[in-house]
Amino acid sequence: MQRPAIRDDLALRAGYHSPQLDVEVRLNTNEAPASPPAAFAERVAQAARDMEWNRYPDRQATALRAALAERYGRSVGEVFVGNGSNEVLQTLMLTFGGVGRTAAVFEPTYALHSHISKTAGTTVVEGARRDDFSLDLDEVQRVIEQTDPNVLFLCSPNNPSGLIDPPDTVDRVLEMLAGSHTLLVVDEAYGQFAPSSAVGRIDEDTAMVVSRTFSKTWSMASARLGYLLGPSWIVDELFKVILPYHLDGMKQAAGLAALEFGDEMDVRVAQVIEERGRLLTAFEDLPVTTWNSAASFFLFRPETMGGDELWQALVDRSILLRNCASWPGLEGCLRVTIGTPEENDRLLAALQDILG
Ligand SMILES: Cc1ncc(COP(=O)(O)O)c(C=O)c1O
């Protein structure tokens, strides 16, 4: 047999990996530290009993989209849902990217923006952030002028730095894009942990979408559910591209159930923000450089030992952080997801022990 050849542009690419190890304290993939409320699981169990399993689900996921629309004060036509916000981003790139088109990203940022774009055949152009990882609007302007991208990604709070862009950033980028054909995608996977958002800027005459997820705030990473808010004409196009019945019935029910626990989720978000503040303050007494974060994680660089070395020393104590030490621009850095107070205490004790 001659093995069928994969696409030339995919041949040399490594897949996206997020290494997992069997440890007691997992602070590496930015999951929520707590499970959803127990009553949520009951609601989902009831939905499973009531489900018409022999029938296809609502293809447009109308009830879920309507509930999201209500939460954000938008119309149902302005909401698209997918299997995680990664699938939402992939659908955007299948629709607005593709061969002969370009997407602009500003590195370092969420690796999947490039990965998904390239998988959809899109050429990726990389702008650079400043050394402190903040977005440089002059660089954004340069990339727009030189490459005229079809899609431009912002990520706020950004992953892996945790930095939020100043509130006027989206307006300023939209001004730069005035008269262009560029779609602005603002990834707000961590938007609920941050003080400002681009959601209020959405309207039918602005080629901008904001993507969000149930994975972080709603403690539902396992369910794989994400969404975007944007002009209805964009949502209509995405529905032409996504597979029919892409969102299964249980997931639609789980999303709807989750939205009934908005107050409980707000409390969880507040707890994560409080723990983030406590950890960041405690890190001030350690020999590390930290970056202030508006997300459910933050980035730091040890000053007295290498990032790889510290990562391993923590693994030896059964604590797993994300090792970014060899990522371009992030030399020596580790990223820590905010855990439960007990997990965070354990991390602090381990760092005090290792770093002195
Ligand atoms: C910035 C950013 N966007 C999107 C995602 C994807 O989230 P999900 O596919 O779980 O909704 C993540 C996950 O870590 C992320 O960090």
Q: What is the CATH number of the domain that holds 347?
A: 3.90.1150.10
Final residue before a domain boundary, out of 260, 293, 327: 260
pLDDT of 10 reads: 86
pLDDT digits (tens, 9 = 90+) for 257-316: 999 999 999 999 999 999 999 999 999 999 999 999 999 999 999 999 999 999 999 999
Contact, 254 vs 223, CB < 8 A? yes
Contact, 186 vs 154, CB < 8 A? yes
State whether 189 and 105 are in the same domain. Answer: yes
Domain membership flag for residue 45: yes
Domain membership flag for residue 230: yes
pLDDT digits (tens, 9 = 90+) for 102-135: 999 999 999 999 999 999 999 999 999 999 999 9
State whether 26 and 97 are in the same domain. Answer: no
Number of domains in the chain: 2
pLDDT of 107 reads: 97
Backbone angles phi, psi at 31, to 5 degrees: -80, 165
CA of 139 to the centre of ligand 1 (A): 25
Mutate which of 93, 110, 163, 336 to test ligand 1's pocket (most atoms within 8 Å of Cβ)? 110
Query: Which of residues 20 and 188 earns the better pLDDT score?
Result: 188
pLDDT of 324 reads: 95
State whether 241 and 285 are in the same domain. Answer: no
- The protein residue with its alpha carbon nearest to ligand 1, atom 15, reads 189
Domain range enclosing 331: 18-36+263-355
Environment class of 88 (CB within 10 Å of its CB; exposed 0-12, middle 13-18, buried 19+) = buried
State whether 92 and 233 are in the same domain. Answer: yes
Final residue before a domain boundary, out of 227, 260, 293: 260
Looking at the CA of residue 190, tell me the nearest atom of ligand 1. 1
pLDDT digits (tens, 9 = 90+) for 221-252: 999 999 999 999 999 999 999 999 999 999 99
Residue 11, pLDDT > 90, answer: no
pLDDT of 20 reads: 81
Looking at the CA of residue 29, tell me the nearest atom of ligand 1. 14
Q: How far is CA 12 from CA 9, 15, 118, in A?
A: 7, 10, 12
Looking at the CA of residue 158, tell me the nearest atom of ligand 1. 1
Cβ-Cβ contacts under 8 Å for 85 (sequence gap 6 or more): 187, 189, 211, 212, 213, 215, 226, 227, 228
d(CA 78, CA 139) in angstroms, rounded, equals 31
CA of 185 to the centre of ligand 1 (A): 13
Residue 15, pLDDT > 80, answer: no
State whether 298 and 236 are in the same domain. Answer: no
pLDDT digits (tens, 9 = 90+) for 28-61: 999 999 999 999 999 999 999 999 999 999 999 9
Kindly state the average pLDDT of the residues 208-219: 95
State whether 96 and 195 are in the same domain. Answer: yes
pLDDT of 354 reads: 97
Residue 146, pLDDT > 80, answer: yes
State whether 24 and 88 are in the same domain. Answer: no
Residue 195: how many CB atoms within 10 A of its CB? 9
Domain membership flag for residue 341: yes
Residue 100, pLDDT > 90, answer: yes
d(CA 296, CA 277) in angstroms, rounded, equals 10
State whether 222 and 316 are in the same domain. Answer: no
Kindly state the tokens that stand for 266: 């707000």
Contact, 129 vs 107, CB < 8 A? yes
State whether 179 and 307 are in the same domain. Answer: no
d(CA 189, CA 155) in angstroms, rounded, equals 8
Mean pLDDT over all residues of the chain?
A: 96
pLDDT of 140 reads: 98
State whether 54 and 84 are in the same domain. Answer: yes
Q: Identify the weakest region by mean pLDDT among 15-19, 212-216, 260-264, 303-307.
A: 15-19
Domain membership flag for residue 5: no
d(CA 154, CA 185) in angstroms, rounded, equals 6
State whether 240 and 343 are in the same domain. Answer: no
Domain membership flag for residue 210: yes
Domain membership flag for residue 4: no
pLDDT bin (cut points 50, 70, 90) of residue 12 is: confident
Q: Looking at residue 201, which CATH number applies to its domain?
A: 3.40.640.10
Residue 8, pLDDT > 90, answer: no
Domain membership flag for residue 2: no
Longest CA span, the chain: 62
Please tell me whether the peptide bond between 37 and the residue prior to it is cis, using omega within 30 degrees of 0: no
Residue 14, pLDDT > 80, answer: no
Residue 207, pLDDT > 90, answer: yes
Domain membership flag for residue 7: no
pTM (predicted TM-score): 0.96
pLDDT of 308 reads: 96
State whether 188 and 218 are in the same domain. Answer: yes
Environment class of 60 (CB within 10 Å of its CB; exposed 0-12, middle 13-18, buried 19+) = middle
Q: Of 270, 271, 278, 265, which is closest to residue 344 (Cα–Cα)? A: 278
Please give the order of strands across the beta sheet that includes 151-155.
Answer: 79-82, 226-229, 208-213, 183-187, 151-155, 102-107, 123-128
pLDDT digits (tens, 9 = 90+) for 161-184: 999 999 999 999 999 999 999 999
pLDDT of 168 reads: 96
pLDDT bin (cut points 50, 70, 90) of residue 321 is: very high
Kindly state the tokens that stand for 293: 């974060």
Residue 218, pLDDT > 90, answer: no
CA of 154 to the centre of ligand 1 (A): 13
Looking at the CA of residue 30, tell me the nearest atom of ligand 1. 14
Residues with Cβ within 6 A of ligand 1? Answer: 30, 84-86, 110, 155, 159, 187, 189, 213, 215, 221, 226
CA of 190 to the centre of ligand 1 (A): 8
